[in-house]
Amino acid sequence: MANKEKAKKKSLLKNFYPEFTFEKVENIPYELLHKEGIRLILMDMDNTLIDSKGQYSKELKKWIQNVKSKDIKLYIVSNSISERMVKKISKELGVRYFYKASKPSTKGFKTVSEQFPEISKKEILMIGDQLFTDIWGANRFNIRTLLVKRINKKEIIVSRIKRPIERIILNHYYKKEENAEKCRV
């Protein structure tokens, strides 16, 4: 492959690279958020916060309370079309929500971030489990990104098809030393 083509391929892949990766949300240390100057966290819901039965862990709830107490704002940005579920989780976790976000569309990120004009894009972190919706969308909007492992193995068919392709991109990502350093999975 010509060098030019190689470079193009590399820069294409970069659109899908997260800045950080963690096993799960509750493993993200507050110290990292503080060090990186994060003031607003946008979170995907399905498979990031809750499993397919709508359950979340006690540790997650504690993590959210802790982060909120440190004056970091939290917001759910979900592609879910069921407002009932998003509303329920939002109420239980004490986090506001934006649903039908159609990520990788940037409309959810834009709408939510406009509510916090004092917070700049480099102070906003998107946490999600999917490269093609959460990470790509956030990268397109130029905010920070953190990938977690999906909670459930069972997924809807569309997500299942995308997973092997995600794996290929992630393998490229992990091969790079500068990324490996930031991965805590």
Q: Which of 43, 44, 99, 170 binds Mg ion (CB under 5 A)?
A: 44
Q: Is 90 in the site for Mg ion (CB under 5 A)?
A: no
C-alpha distances in Å from residue 150, one per residue of 35, 116, 122: 25, 28, 25
Give the phi and the psi of residue 35 in degrees, each rounded to 5.
-60, -35
Q: Which residue has the tokens 């294409």?
A: 12
Question: Which CB sits closer to Mg ion, 113 or 133?
Answer: 133
- Per CB under 5 A, contacts with Mg ion among 17-36 are none
Sheet holding 40-43, edge to edge: 20-22, 144-148, 124-128, 40-43, 73-77, 96-98
Min CB(95)–Mg ion separation in Å: 15
Q: What 3-state class would DSSP assign to 127?
A: strand
Contact between residue 143 and residue 22 where contact means Cβ atoms under 8 Å apart = no
Q: Is 166 in the site for Mg ion (CB under 5 A)?
A: no
Q: Which of 47, 106, 113, 145 binds Mg ion (CB under 5 A)?
A: 47
Question: Which CB sits closer to Mg ion, 46 or 123?
Answer: 46
Q: Which of 46, 76, 147, 169 binds Mg ion (CB under 5 A)?
A: 46
Build a one-symbol-per-residue string for 112-141: x at contacts with Mg ion by CB under 5 A, - elsewhere.
-----------------x------------
Contact between residue 106 and residue 124 where contact means Cβ atoms under 8 Å apart = no
Min CB(35)–Mg ion separation in Å: 26
Binding residues (CB under 5 A) for Mg ion: these are 44, 46-48, 129
